[in-house]
Structure 1
Amino acid sequence: MKSSSVVTCLPFVNAKLLVKRSTEITSVDMNTSGATETNTILRKVPTPTPLGDSNNNNSNNKDLRLPNVTRRSITPDKRDSRRSRSSPFFRSEANSVGCQAWIDKRLPLIHSLLFLLCLSVYWNSLDGSFVFDDVTAIRDNRDLRPHVPWQNLFANDFWGTPMYKEHSHKSYRPLTVLTFRWNYALHGLNPMGYHLVNVILHGIVTLVFFNVARVLVLSSTVSLTAATLFALHPIHTEAVSGIVGRAELLSSFWYLMAFLSYTKAAGRSKRGQTYPVANGYSGNYFHSNNNNSFHHNYHSSSSSGTGSSGNTTTTTNNNNNSSNSSCAPKKPFPWSCQATSASWASFMWSLLFITIALLCKEQGITILAVCVIYELCITQRLLLSLPTSEFLTMRSVLKGGGGGAGGKFSPQTKASCQRICALVLTGLVLMVMRLKIMVQLPNFYTYDNPAATASAPTKQFTFGYLTALNAWLLLNPSHLCCDWTMGTVPLVTSLTDPRHLSTITLVLTLAGLIHRILKRDRCQKELPVVLALTVIPFLPASNLLFPVGFVVAERVLYLPSMGFSLLVAIGWHKCHKRLSTLRDSNGRKIFTLLWRLGLVFCLVSHAAKVWLRNLDWKDEYALFSSGLKVTDRNAKLFSNVGHALEKQERFGEALQYFHQAVMVQPDDIGAHINVGRTLNHMKRFQEAEVAYTKAKNLLPQSRTGETYYARVAPNHLNVFLNLATLISRNDSRLEEADLLYRQAISMRADYTQAYINRGDILIKLNRTREAQAVYEKALSFERGNPDLLYNMGVVMLNQNKISQALNYFDLALKEDPDHRQALMNSAILIQETGIRQLRRVAIERLMKIVGPDGPDTKDVNERVLFNLAMLHMDDGDLPSAESFFQKAIQAQPDFRSALFNYALLLSETGRAAQSGPLLHQLIHYHPDHVKGLILLGDLYVNHAGDLHKAEECYRTILKLEPNHVQGRHNLCVVLLEQDPNRLESLVKAKECLESVRESAPNEDYILKHLGIVEAKVESLTESIRLSEHHSHFPEMP
């Protein structure tokens, strides 16, 4: 009978394995604690044969002895052999495996619970408003409006500013803005919809992260712990509760999807699946060991096969060289080990997802580096794999040798090289495209990131400390702040600064992790990738590669927190495992329970912190006030609290915060501008001018005979506009205001707001031609600026160019269909010109201001309502006219035109009695309203019969306008009606009407009434004459 041999698959034994003739040896399963288990008794081993010479049947081979480490691996450990299966160690491990199996069988339930957990802790953020950057990115961003071409999203930055402009922030995130646009299309500027999408996205990202963790660490318990930590981490409140944080959420989702697709392309997407390994064979590359829920069983690449599970025996026949092991492949190098078309399809999907992640936020491109590290450390086992006798490996090439006789790469190694090259090429292409779109680097200012402009070594010291500060926020997110700029983090200027200890601690921690990786930690092969997920996404925001426009931004830690959560989860489970192996049963139970309670306490406290932090993000006052609890060295926070109070018209309180900002940062131009603006609101104009002047003096001053360049923040130039607007209240200082606008334009040629305001000043100075030239110059910088187009219409209107004015109003509405002033004034212009074919257009434009749900009198100009009433009255739609008259009066109770015309409408429709209260209200607010007095006098004469009240109305008119024809005429009529049968009254009325006729000889109604009175006078005179005649000459019988 032919002899056979049994070879033990020993993990990572750096020695040649021996062939044992006529002997059966069970394989040894090693756990992380070094314990071994054997299932049969070892028999006496005859003369061993080296594995490399297994084809040689010579029995005189030399006896090769295994080193001590190998002998310990084969020989049963006495201490471990004494452990029974019922020991606490095995019970703990069994519980871990059982928990993992329970999770694996209920993944839909786990996914649902994780998603509901995210919804529950962020539910109170749904009723938040637009705060901080949300205002600029959403409320004031024209790219969200339906009338703006969607292509503009790919030409403008995140805030709606064209990328080519110098003052653009250069944040290119078109796909994120596209989702905002979808929100706007569904519900306009209702913040709840935006918040709801953010919360749902956070839940989805958490689920995908859980799946990524299962693929990476192959332990459902560790993955669930990491996902729960990630779902509840308070550092995410800015990314989830702040609407602009959607950039992080979307980028993270596609980031993880790209990683999952890449693992599938590299051959590792499902637990327990067959994957390629470095020596060309396939087998269970990773699996979950029964003795360790997150331990990977790696197999030596120098053995004749790789094991597929815990205890495996490989049998080698010396005669036919056949492999009968269950862990060996049926044939060497099966095609499943190579890059199939399906794997390349997954790889292409990963490249697409990477591009989408980049278009959501710039951090998304860092997944390229993570995929490269995954390829090297997981797929190719660059740090852990041993040399192969068949093919070259990446590790052997990098070490300058190794490899097999053929000196060729294995098929899967070739595929890995191809994938890495494709990743690098993709990264280069994406970065070149991104730089080309950006046109030029962004310009940031000292207050945004003070350390960026500091000198060495202060810059390096501070940037190092900021990295440690970000790590501390992940570890202890108790003091969170929405703004870390200006003086929030003082510069690290001295070697004796105690904050260096934080930097050193972080460096030592990272060094320890890297050292463990380089030592080829076989217990946690995924550690390099987990560390990469933590560090690499943070690098673009770390200031270590290039300066950025902020000191610390909590939302940029959303991606790095994934790797951090995995590190914490792995560490917690390792410590839990060690605690469960304590010999003292009481101590083991107590410490294990305390360790578990510690995790529960951490999760509950995180959830509570998230809930409370969401309340801070409800409105700007709460948000910025919470920041002042963290730091009182940030002038920007004081100013922002003041802005929030200013919006509530609490100017006195706002002024106190603005003054505090000036005290904290005396050279902050914006703080002085805020003081001046608030004083202006409080009608303290002289003090406001002083504050504006102080702010203006802080700007770089001109030097006689010298040309130099200085960078000025665009918002600081507002001091010229505010100061000019203030002094232009005095018509004698209009030229001075014009000079200020010209100074602003000289400092920034494309400062369109200065052009707009200067044009307004020139119109007031009746220099409309110059105003037109100014607006045309501004339009050369911003052709589609609706405000400029509207102002051009106003200029044309002042020049009595009606058709051109209407054309510019139409152009303004083409750029911004919601431009209220263009809508209102174009409609009024159409109404005044009497263009009947455009009357319907005028109504539609005014109705657009009112809105589909009816007007809100607090927001709609009463003139809009009045003009709608007049248009409907002209069209004969009297009920609609009445409705809009009522709403206009409700919006402004002293609206004279609305009161009079509504009263006139009622009078003309036979409801004169109802017009009385309106006329009394009109005369109460406007005693000199002549037409109202005329209508009220007519009401007294024709309906109330109160001639004395009517006489009072008409005499009041004659006091206001002695030559008012209608008033004099009506007074004559009243005098007549007081005693129409007396000749004296008729004579007075006749004389009154004759005097009126002299003032208006061509008024037919006066001539008509004079004729009537003359006839009555003549008739009454004749009657009197006849009566007197009869009295002197009585009729004879």
Structure 2
Amino acid sequence: MQANGHASSTSDPARRRRVFSSLWPVLCCLLYAPCVTYSEWYIDELFAVLRNEDARGETSLTQVFSNDFWGNPLWGQSWTHKSYRPLAVLSFAWQFRFLGEELFRPQPLRTFNAAIHAGNSLLVWLLLRRLGLRNWASLASCLFAAHPVHVENIVYLVGRADVLATTGWLLAALAHLEVRRRWQDKNYLPKLSAVLLVLLCSLLAVAACLCKEMGLTLLVFTAGLELVSCKPGGRRLATGAISLAVLALTSFILLAVARFAVTQGSSAVFGYVDTPVQYHESFWVRSWSYLFQHSYYGKLLIFPGDLSWDYSFDALPVLRATWRDLRVLSVCTAYLSLFALISKGLANSRRMLLGLQVVVIPFVPASNLFFKVGVTIGERLLYPCTVGAALVLAALGQSFEKRHGRAWPRRLAVALLGVYLWRCGERVWQWRSSEALYVADALSWPTSVKTRHQLGTVLHQQGRYEEALLEFNASLTILDDNALTDHCIAQIYIETARYPLALERFEKILRGHGVGFSPFNLWMLYVDYGFTLVALGRFEEAIPALEKGLSRNAAVPHGQNALGYAFASLNQLQEAQDVLARGLEYDPENPVLWSNLAVVWMVAGAFQQAAQGLEKALTIEPENRVVIHNVMVLKGAAQSGYLTESPKLDLFFSRN
């Protein structure tokens, strides 16, 4: 009885220490708490979540599994990103159904991201303990929890895919280690159990892959885990481990072929602004530039400095001078450091070697070595790699303490954690609004085309036109051939009635390569170009441009109104009536459309219809001076039987 009581008394403090140790990474995750109050939709969240019918649960499962992450069909003539992540999309759809239309807001979606990250931090803590790194489990998992690059995964909803895929990784690794521990106790690996384990890992790999493409590499990690975890002395166990590794790699190849068949390959066309390296004609420039990106990823993994939501042209310029570019030294440093760690792992630290596997293997899909990715640098892509970084750090620290008995590596890691906590909290605060994010990134990365453009867009939306023009022009100073930025400048000129300046921008766009425009948004260019020509009285030139734009997207009331204005000004009354009536189908409460239609009816002599149109316009906007003028003209015409004064047509502009 005394022995049992003594065992219980000694185990309780140990249990309390374990619980206390596991709380630290969860507490670090509180850094992300402010983001659960952020109500703004950021950048691509509008396309991936809010306007994506798949993510809103408005389509069938069949359609979800046949579309890419953005809701575009994988098969057919339409453009597709090749990002096949149906489970990540379904996570949004399930939240939409649970919350309902009224509560489908960014806040609960970000809360879910933060909760999954906290769970992953606990899984990292548990993984480190299962690998025998108990002394460093809490500190290393805290470094994972507070890593600044994770802010993009949690605040930016598009980053959820990486978080979910990593959850699959961690669960598979923990299950694998538990099964292997039991096999090692018996010094035997049953064939049926090995097949079942590969099947389990394959299922988890499929689930992870359906969250993010890199999840498929879980099976390569499984094979490496078998080889690294196998202890010497058990021949039968070693033979079984090799067999299991072969099975895992075979399963990986089969699933990879299946995945490529579903997405019909992995090649997709990405814009020059997003991925300029792939467009350079020199093989050596492309190769060294990609290698430099790898070294920059390494820097972000260990000591992240200034972060950015998008490292577009020309944040990280290509290495045009190759060997004469000093950045080549960072490439050499990164790869020599990696080889040194691999050498040390092969010599005396299998757990560190396992950590390096978790760093390298998930990174391969983002490396541009086998297929092109749609970003220059994507901080969210490092999410699974930080698990490996935590494992490497814990293995190095524990090994050093065991051999030398010194505590300075732990103190260094605590200092690094302090930096992570500060940078993570700062980055979460920078994401509080689009303006705050873009201002911070523009200060850190003044040569990033998209950052300066997006800051200009925010200022434009706020009506701060001159400040927006400064940012748009700064973006064009970096890359002048960017039609989308020129179009934004032209819109400001339209809204401020500087039509000749707007026309100059449109003429520049039409002489260039149309960078930033594609089949889905090309209508904007032609509609606004035609609108500007109408405002300048060049009606015959305006009509073809407006018709071309409206044929691509008819739901543009200000474009329909401008086209009707042009027809009416050329006395093509029937065409004007048809177009203005079509505009009212899309915006039935628009006073300008009603007033212009009434003008067409007045000119045609249909005074009764004109009176009805003007009455509708006055009901909507009783203080509209043009409508009031047309009412007075109609009254004079009603008394004399003919128009004694010309009615006025009007334009209005709605930003696209």
Q: Give the conservation status (yes or no) of the 8 Å contact 1:662–1:668.
A: yes
| Separation in structure 2 between the aligned mates of residue 648 and residue 922 of structure 1, nearest angstrom | 24
Q: Residue in 2 aligned with 1:787? A: none
Q: Residue in 1 aligned with 2:606? A: none
Q: Residue in 2 aligned with 1:225? A: 139
Q: 2:37 aligns with which of 117, 121, 127?
A: 127
| Separation in structure 1 between the aligned mates of residue 624 and residue 152 of structure 2, nearest angstrom | 54
| Residue 445 of structure 2 is aligned to residue 723 of structure 1 | no
Residue 637 of structure 1 and its aligned partner are, at CA, apart by: 1.1
Q: 1:546 aligns with which of 368, 371, 375?
A: 371
Secondary structure at 2:210 match in 1: helix
Closer/same/farther in 2, CA of residues 638 and 511 from structure 1, 3 Å limit: same
| Superimposed CA distance per residue, residues 648-681 of structure 1 (whole angstroms, 9 cap, x where no aligned partner) | 1222211111111111211222221221122112
Q: Residue in 2 aligned with 1:252? A: 166
Closer/same/farther in 2, CA of residues 545 and 498 from structure 1, 3 Å limit: same
After superposing the two structures, state which structure 1 stretch, 418-427 or 191-200, moved more.
Answer: 418-427
| Separation in structure 1 between the aligned mates of residue 164 and residue 126 of structure 2, nearest angstrom | 17
| Superimposed CA distance per residue, residues 171-225 of structure 1 (whole angstroms, 9 cap, x where no aligned partner) | 1111111111233331544211111111101101111122222222x12222222
Residue 509 of structure 1 and its aligned partner are, at CA, apart by: 1.3
The 5 Å alignment of 1:617-1016 reads 617-699=431-513, 713-714=518-519, 717=522, 718-729=524-535, 733=539, 736-739=542-545, 742=548, 752-753=552-553, 896-897=618-619, 962=639
Q: Residue in 1 aligned with 2:126? A: 211
* Counterpart residue type for residue 131 of structure 1: Y
Q: Residue in 1 aligned with 2:203? A: 352
* Counterpart residue type for residue 46 of structure 2: V
Secondary structure at 1:443 match in 2: coil
Closer/same/farther in 2, CA of residues 240 and 766 from structure 1, 3 Å limit: same
Q: Residue in 2 aligned with 1:419? A: 244
Q: Residue in 1 aligned with 2:91? A: 179
Residue 417 of structure 1 and its aligned partner are, at CA, apart by: 4.8
| Residue 211 of structure 2 is aligned to residue 363 of structure 1 | no
Q: Give the conservation status (yes or no) of the 8 Å contact 1:258–1:351.
A: no
| Separation in structure 1 between the aligned mates of residue 74 and residue 327 of structure 2, nearest angstrom | 39
| Separation in structure 1 between the aligned mates of residue 637 and residue 249 of structure 2, nearest angstrom | 87
Q: Residue in 2 aligned with 1:573? A: 398
Residue 249 of structure 1 and its aligned partner are, at CA, apart by: 0.8
Residue 796 of structure 1 and its aligned partner are, at CA, apart by: 12
Q: Residue in 2 aligned with 1:450? A: 276
Closer/same/farther in 2, CA of residues 962 and 620 from structure 1, 3 Å limit: same
Q: Residue in 2 aligned with 1:507? A: 335
**TM-score, with normalisation over the residues of structure 2?**
0.80
Closer/same/farther in 2, CA of residues 642 and 518 from structure 1, 3 Å limit: same
Q: Residue in 1 aligned with 2:298? A: 471
Residue 765 of structure 1 and its aligned partner are, at CA, apart by: 8.1
| Residue 79 of structure 2 is aligned to residue 167 of structure 1 | yes
| Separation in structure 1 between the aligned mates of residue 519 and residue 424 of structure 2, nearest angstrom | 36
Closer/same/farther in 2, CA of residues 231 and 146 from structure 1, 3 Å limit: closer
| Separation in structure 2 between the aligned mates of residue 625 and residue 680 of structure 1, nearest angstrom | 26
Residue 759 of structure 1 and its aligned partner are, at CA, apart by: 8.6
Residue 516 of structure 1 and its aligned partner are, at CA, apart by: 2.5
Residue 413 of structure 1 and its aligned partner are, at CA, apart by: 5.2
Q: Give the conservation status (yes or no) of the 8 Å contact 2:205–2:215.
A: yes
Q: Give the conservation status (yes or no) of the 8 Å contact 2:564–2:579.
A: no
Residue 260 of structure 1 and its aligned partner are, at CA, apart by: 2.2
Closer/same/farther in 2, CA of residues 481 and 102 from structure 1, 3 Å limit: farther
Q: 2:415 aligns with which of 601, 608, 613?
A: 601
| Separation in structure 2 between the aligned mates of residue 731 and residue 192 of structure 1, nearest angstrom | 48
Q: Give the conservation status (yes or no) of the 8 Å contact 1:724–1:736.
A: yes
| Separation in structure 2 between the aligned mates of residue 102 and residue 451 of structure 1, nearest angstrom | 56
Residue 338 of structure 1 and its aligned partner are, at CA, apart by: 2.1
* Counterpart residue type for residue 423 of structure 2: K
| Separation in structure 2 between the aligned mates of residue 462 and residue 340 of structure 1, nearest angstrom | 47
Closer/same/farther in 2, CA of residues 682 and 763 from structure 1, 3 Å limit: closer
Q: Give the conservation status (yes or no) of the 8 Å contact 2:453–2:472.
A: yes
| Separation in structure 2 between the aligned mates of residue 114 and residue 346 of structure 1, nearest angstrom | 30
Residue 132 of structure 1 and its aligned partner are, at CA, apart by: 2.0
| Separation in structure 2 between the aligned mates of residue 927 and residue 760 of structure 1, nearest angstrom | 19
Secondary structure at 1:490 match in 2: coil
Q: Give the conservation status (yes or no) of the 8 Å contact 1:235–1:555.
A: yes
Closer/same/farther in 2, CA of residues 629 and 115 from structure 1, 3 Å limit: same
Secondary structure at 1:142 match in 2: coil
Structure possessing the higher relative contact order (Cα contacts under 8 Å, 6 or more residues apart): 2
* Counterpart residue type for residue 385 of structure 2: P
| Separation in structure 1 between the aligned mates of residue 124 and residue 585 of structure 2, nearest angstrom | 50
Q: Give the conservation status (yes or no) of the 8 Å contact 1:187–1:193.
A: no
Q: Give the conservation status (yes or no) of the 8 Å contact 1:124–1:614.
A: yes
Q: Residue in 2 aligned with 1:613? A: 427
| Separation in structure 1 between the aligned mates of residue 324 and residue 639 of structure 2, nearest angstrom | 90
| Separation in structure 2 between the aligned mates of residue 526 and residue 345 of structure 1, nearest angstrom | 25
Residue 513 of structure 1 and its aligned partner are, at CA, apart by: 2.0
Secondary structure at 1:527 match in 2: helix
| Separation in structure 2 between the aligned mates of residue 649 and residue 498 of structure 1, nearest angstrom | 43
Q: Percent identity?
A: 23
* Counterpart residue type for residue 174 of structure 2: L
* Counterpart residue type for residue 450 of structure 1: P
Q: Give the conservation status (yes or no) of the 8 Å contact 2:148–2:304.
A: yes
The 5 Å alignment of 1:178-577 reads 178-185=90-97, 186-188=99-101, 189-216=104-131, 218-265=132-179, 267-268=180-181, 274-276=182-184, 282=187, 337-339=189-191, 341=193, 344-379=195-230, 381=231, 385=232, 410=236, 412=237, 415-440=240-265, 441-454=267-280, 455-494=282-321, 495-519=323-347, 521=348, 524-577=349-402
Secondary structure at 1:536 match in 2: helix
Q: Residue in 2 aligned with 1:142? A: 53
| Superimposed CA distance per residue, residues 350-392 of structure 1 (whole angstroms, 9 cap, x where no aligned partner) | 221111100001111111111111112213x5xxx36x7xxxx
Q: Residue in 2 aligned with 1:329? A: none
Residue 349 of structure 1 and its aligned partner are, at CA, apart by: 2.6
Q: Give the conservation status (yes or no) of the 8 Å contact 1:639–1:674.
A: no
Closer/same/farther in 2, CA of residues 694 and 206 from structure 1, 3 Å limit: same
Higher helix share: 2
| Separation in structure 2 between the aligned mates of residue 221 and residue 724 of structure 1, nearest angstrom | 69
| Superimposed CA distance per residue, residues 66-109 of structure 1 (whole angstroms, 9 cap, x where no aligned partner) | xxxxxxxxxxxxxxxxxxxxxxxxxxxxxxxxx99966554444
Residue 600 of structure 1 and its aligned partner are, at CA, apart by: 2.8
Secondary structure at 1:548 match in 2: coil
| Separation in structure 2 between the aligned mates of residue 247 and residue 171 of structure 1, nearest angstrom | 10
Q: Give the conservation status (yes or no) of the 8 Å contact 1:251–1:360.
A: yes
Closer/same/farther in 2, CA of residues 658 and 110 from structure 1, 3 Å limit: same
| Superimposed CA distance per residue, residues 397-454 of structure 1 (whole angstroms, 9 cap, x where no aligned partner) | xxxxxxxxxxxxx3x4564355334323332232223222223521123222222222
Q: Give the conservation status (yes or no) of the 8 Å contact 1:176–1:246.
A: yes
| Separation in structure 2 between the aligned mates of residue 730 and residue 958 of structure 1, nearest angstrom | 30
Q: Give the conservation status (yes or no) of the 8 Å contact 1:670–1:716.
A: no
**TM-score, with normalisation over the residues of structure 1?**
0.52
Q: Residue in 1 aligned with 2:594? A: none
| Separation in structure 2 between the aligned mates of residue 648 and residue 540 of structure 1, nearest angstrom | 39
| Separation in structure 2 between the aligned mates of residue 684 and residue 899 of structure 1, nearest angstrom | 25
Q: Give the conservation status (yes or no) of the 8 Å contact 1:276–1:338.
A: no
